[in-house]
Structure 1
Amino acid sequence: MENGGTVNGHNGHSGLENGGAHAVHYFVGIEGGASHSQGVLLNEDAVILAKCRGCTTNQWVVGLDKACKTIADMVKELRQTANLPVDVPITSLGLCMSGADDEKKNQEWVTLLDEKFALARSYIIENDTLGSLATARSDLAGIVLISGTGSNCILRNPNGEVIHAGGWGHMLGDEGSGYWIAHYAIKTYFDHEDRVKISKYDLSLLSRLIVDYFGVEKRSELLKFFYSPFDKCFIAKFCEHLAEAATAGDPFCRKVFHEAGYVLANHIMAVLPDATQELKRQPGGIPIICVGSVFNSWELLKHGFMSRFDDNIPEMTFFKLCGASAIGAAFLGAKSAGHIIPIDHLRPTQRFFNIGTVQ
């Protein structure tokens, strides 16, 4: 499977007639994550007219048909909330989706959306990482590191070049994510109990956490959560309980987050060699946009994260994205349709860390 995934400039369904010279334009952005999706409807002045939430729209998890139906339902809800009549066209639909990494598959996605639902005049599909970058940075340049239910990372240079690392799902990736953290802890428990690999840590607290969260009495009852029916999001949320235990001082749980920090930093190390000098020389160095609930446990991740870097790395400034990536998706959709909407007032980021040396 090749990276990429941009599908733009696609003309909408012929049933959507062009408006007059002074027609008001409307732009929808949808960010589709592994656990849920967010949608936003903006006008040409970047005023938020409506927001909504939906379930996962990852095509590799639910299939294209269900993903398209969820998107259509979200657009319908946005219209209803904003009191936008069905005969008023949406200028563009920007989709920044988890799992949108295959250009051919994304083209199928656009075709199905347009032929079956005729949602907009034009469409663009990108990976969810680019939606986060578009929300946070007006220049669309920097690194995005996602760690929520799953994990992913991209570097986008000022010249538009994009380098990917991770984002391959729980079977082939997701290192450092909520799911990975939960799986790491539970697998350690299984290996310890089987005496395949005895842990040097006291796992009694972990054992109680597993029993309480999953509502089981013996290990074999855990199999249903990992096989059929498999619920990645439910397993990933176990990470929250591990974070509480780590914050309270449990040595094993602190070790898990140390390892998570290290493998998250691996993503940055993978793309860093491709960062241009122009990007490195920005004020504060390379901006790193951190997205996802796992970063709420930064103090637990920090030591392992920092241990991955040496003294020769370029300066990097880390920001948490406090707003919805759907805004960036709407911006990208509008841009692909020939409109630049002023979203600077919708770019909430919080600077929380700086490392490296000025180059």
Structure 2
Amino acid sequence: MEECMARIKKLVDDAKREAGLSQEIVLNGLGLCLSGCEQKTTNISLEENLHKRYPNLAEVIFVASDTIGSLMSACANGGINLISGTGSNCLLMNPDGATYQSGGWGHMIGDEGSAYWIASKTVKVIYDEEDNLIEPPYPTTTLKKLVFEHFDLNDRGIEIVCSGSVFRSWDLLKSGFMEGIKPRSQKDVEIPKFTLLKLEVSSAYGAIYQASKKSGYPLPKEYEKNSSVLFSYTRDEKQMNGHTNGNGHSNGTRNGNGLLEKKEVFSHSINNNRF
């Protein structure tokens, strides 16, 4: 509240300066229709505190919600103000000044029809389709393209850190692992490239790296020495045309850029040219 009042005072001072008025002038009235000023008790409290802190700010101060400001700008005797911006809200004002509200509960449980709601639903539709939970009623190709471009997402190969003692038995796990990542339906996304890494140092290194990043300390980081390659997979271009060329795996090291120095192609074929 203190910061809010200080900013209001500065805005009034700036407005006087731009209008060529003296800072000593006391305004006849100051109307403030602000986002979040939805409760009458807190609005009255803001009015009273502004008078106490800045007694020469204005003779009369009026505080209300931004929905009131929009409505009264167009309707002298009340009406309905329907808001659909980042959030959403709907306010009815009767001629006697009585108000009734629908919506405006915030992005967690409401704001239907708002820009946030639309964006949230968009991302949810994509996740539901990718996870095979809910089939969208219409194609999402263009939708995915827009979302991926906005968040700068793509299908570059990913590095996966394998933690835990189970991965010590990788030779026994490998065939089942590769079987498990096969697409199970037409909707499944094929993983074209990935690398499994195993840590050669304590996970405390990561905590130290994050602390140095937050503090701004230029701590040298040698990622290439902190892990080694357990397994790497790259889909062979020939596989895309329905051909295979055997299989293999790499247990190599990483270069200074965190990339594999040695990489062999692992390929396998299944029915219908799906991999």
TM-score normalised by the chain length of structure 2: 0.51
- Structure 1, unmatched stretches of 5+, are 1-63, 219-359
**Counterpart AA for 2:70:** S
Tell me if structure 2 keeps the 8 A contact 1:106–1:125.
yes
- The CA RMSD over aligned residues, in Å, is 2.0
Contact 1:99 1:167 in 2 (8 A): no
- Structure 2 residue 67 is matched with structure 1 residue 129: yes
AA of the residue aligned to 1:172:
I
Within 2, Cα distance between the matches of 1:162 and 1:75? 29
Q: 2:29 aligns with which of 81, 89, 92?
A: 92
Structure with bigger gyration radius: 2
Alpha-carbon distance in 2 for matches of 1:92, 1:102: 21
The number of aligned residues is: 154
Work out whether residues 211 and 217 of structure 1, in 8 Å CA contact, stay in contact via their aligned partners in 2.
yes
Distance of 2:6 and 2:34 partners within structure 1: 14
How many angstroms does 1:117 deviate by?
A: 4.1
Which structure shows the higher helix fraction?
1
| 1:131 partner amino acid | G
Q: What TM-score comes out, normalization by structure 1 length? A: 0.40
**Deviation digits for residues 184-232 of structure 1, max 9, x if unmatched?**
11111122112222213211211111122233347xxxxxxxxxxxxxx
Q: How does 1:52-91 map to 2 (within 5 A)?
A: 64-91=1-28
CA distance in 2, matches of 1:196, 1:169: 26
Superposed, 1:164-313 pairs within 5 Å as 164-217=101-154
Using the alignment, how far apart are the partners of 1:213 and 1:115 within structure 2? Answer: 48
What stretches of structure 2 of length at least 5 have no aligned partner? 156-275
* CA-CA distance at 1:89 after TM superposition: 0.7
Cα distance change, pair 164–191 in 1 and its aligned pair in 2 (3 A): same
1:120 equivalent among 58, 63, 76 = 58
Task: Please give the secondary structure, in 2, of the residue aligned with 1:81.
Answer: helix
The one of 93, 96, 99 equivalent to 1:156 is: 93
In 2: Cα distance, 1:162 partner to 1:90 partner? 28
1-structure distance, mates of 2:133, 2:81: 37
Q: Which has the higher contact order (CA 8 A, sep 6+)?
A: 1
**Counterparts of 1:99 and 1:184, CA distance in 2:** 24
Change in Cα spacing, 1:196 to 1:68, as seen in structure 2 (3 Å) is farther
Identical residues among aligned pairs (%)? 38
**CA shift at 1:95, angstroms?**
1.1
Q: How many Å separate the matches in 2 of 1:120 and 1:172? A: 38
Aligned residue for 1:187, secondary structure, equals: helix
Indicate how the Cα distance of structure 1 residues 200 and 103 shifts in structure 2: closer, same or farther if over 3 A, else same.
Answer: same
Structure 1 contact 142–157 (Cα < 8 Å) conserved: yes
Provide closer, same or farther for how the CA distance between residues 176 and 121 of structure 1 changes in structure 2, counting only shifts above 3 A.
same
